[in-house]
Structure 1
Amino acid sequence: MGKGDKKSKKGKIWRDSYGNSRSRAALKAKLKRTASKKTVADAGTGEAAAKPKRTAAKKKDA
């Protein structure tokens, strides 16, 4: 069961195809579950963590 196997998940990934062992509906459902967990975790803290803005370093006059 490896890359060349048309019926295995690894073979489907290698061939960029979908089927019973790698269904798109299952992938979408998994992404939806993880996205909902992230939004629940963010809502629990009360406020979103702000990323610090990155600025360019100033050149020193020589």
Structure 2
Amino acid sequence: EEEEEEEEEEEEEEEEEEEEGEEKEEQQQEEEEEEEEEEEEEEEEEEEKEKEEEERKNMEIN
């Protein structure tokens, strides 16, 4: 009987560990996606700034 209980406990622990691992993976993926989005936003802002600079230069020339 004790052995059965031990086995059950071990199985439960393994399941918990698996779940924790999956949660960590999901969290990591979310963080990576957020980072990518931030980078894209920064790039877009840079492009906007460059366009504005060019427009300003063109206005000065004219």
TM class by shorter chain equals 0.3 to 0.5
More helix by percentage: 2
Query: So what's the TM-score if we normalise by structure 1?
Result: 0.40
> Which protein has greater RCO, CA pairs closer than 8 Å, 6+ apart?
1
Query: So what's the TM-score if we normalise by structure 2?
Result: 0.40
| Largest Rg, 1 or 2 | 2
